[in-house]
Amino acid sequence: MNKRERLAAAIKGEPVDRVPVALWRHWPGDDQRADDLAAAHIAFQREYDWDLVKVSPSSSFCITDWGVEDRWDGSLEGTRTYTRRIVRNPEDWLSLKVLDPLSGALGRQLRCLEILQKTFGDEIPYIQTIFNPLSQAKNLAGQEVLNLHVRQNAGQVHYALQTIADTAVRFIHEAKQRGISGVFFAVQHANYHLMSEAEYEVFGRPYDLQILSAANDLWCNMLHQHGPNTMFKLTADYPVQIVNWHDRDANPELKSGLKMIKGAASGGVSRDVLHQEDPTEALDQARDAFEQTGGKHWILGTGCVTLVTTPTGNIRKLRDLAEELVP
């Protein structure tokens, strides 16, 4: 099977020659330049031959042009620290205007996709990360300010969320012209640590569905439910083909989660376990995930980004194990 055939079969629960496998990571520093970010993804793919490439810009790529500033401080996730936010007062939300996806940081990311399109063509599926509107709003304001304004200044926040959603939709339309197979839709706030279900139903779900509707003609959309204590049931019906969550570190476990979603689950291995010096436990988790799923509706991977200092030997051993996992 080629990569698309293998992934499509896994999504449908049909027989595969082996389970699909994909890991992804951030590329700090490289993610500030289109050529370098593309080159990092291409080298990672050539080294490990994943069935799917998840394109990982920094979280600021979609909001830099509204004026935030950030830097990488050495986080093992490869994520950046925000040094300047633009929302302090409720009226600051009203300063947001829909961005032009062809210019600025969004245009830079489209140039990265153009390079990947020339390199991967139709042979290697690649999906573009899209941070959902609440995640972007959090990075514009900080979590504490966002929570306060959600509860006291809902009208201004709704204006901003709609502006963010409209910008994301425009960007997705352009990204589709650059050959993406889907979007990797990252959701952080469907999480009981950050919001109530009632709040997410009002400030999260409607805007999520607007964005996903812009990608509904793509065949490989993936939802990422970030963190512990997620509102898994609240997003289980999102129109995606794959769901990724921290199945080793949060509920539900892989087998139970599969019963709640359509399509396939991506996961089975804890990124922190894969980060250990000895890969034995990570490989055991992968084998256990194979037993939980029977190798159906499953893509072998971690529940979140692979840490940037993960031993390359561990990554290689996990990739090699996929060749042995034949349902």
What are the residue ranges in the chain where pLDDT is below 70? none
Spatial separation of the C-alpha atoms in residues 20 and 242, rounded to whole Å:
12
Alpha helices in 93-204 (DSSP H): 104-120, 133-141, 143-152, 154-176, 197-203
**What integer pLDDT is reported at residue 309 of this predicted model?**
98
Give the H or E element holding residue 27: none
Q: Using DSSP bridges, classify how beta strands 182-187 and 222-225 pair: parallel, antiparallel or unpaired.
A: parallel
Question: What is the per-residue pLDDT across 189-245, written as a single tens digit (0 to 9) for each?
Answer: 999 999 999 999 999 999 999 999 999 999 999 999 999 999 999 999 999 999 999
**What integer pLDDT is reported at residue 31 of this predicted model?**
98
Question: What is the per-residue pLDDT across 115-133, written as a single tens digit (0 to 9) for each?
Answer: 999 999 999 999 999 999 9
**What integer pLDDT is reported at residue 76 of this predicted model?**
97
Spatial separation of the C-alpha atoms in residues 21 and 10, rounded to whole Å:
11
Spatial separation of the C-alpha atoms in residues 189 and 63, rounded to whole Å:
18
**What integer pLDDT is reported at residue 326 of this predicted model?**
97
**What integer pLDDT is reported at residue 184 of this predicted model?**
98
**What integer pLDDT is reported at residue 9 of this predicted model?**
98
Rg (CA), the chain: 19
Q: What is the largest CA-CA distance in the chain?
A: 57
**What integer pLDDT is reported at residue 4 of this predicted model?**
98
Instruction: Report the DSSP beta bridge partners of residue 131.
Output: 186
**What integer pLDDT is reported at residue 278 of this predicted model?**
98
Tell me, yes or no, if the pTM score tops 0.85.
yes
**What integer pLDDT is reported at residue 141 of this predicted model?**
98
Residue 266 buriedness (CB in 10 A; 0-12 / 13-18 / 19+):
buried
The total number of residues written for the chain in this structure: 327
**What integer pLDDT is reported at residue 182 of this predicted model?**
98
What domains sit in the chain, N to C, each tagged with a CATH number? 3-322 (3.20.20.210)
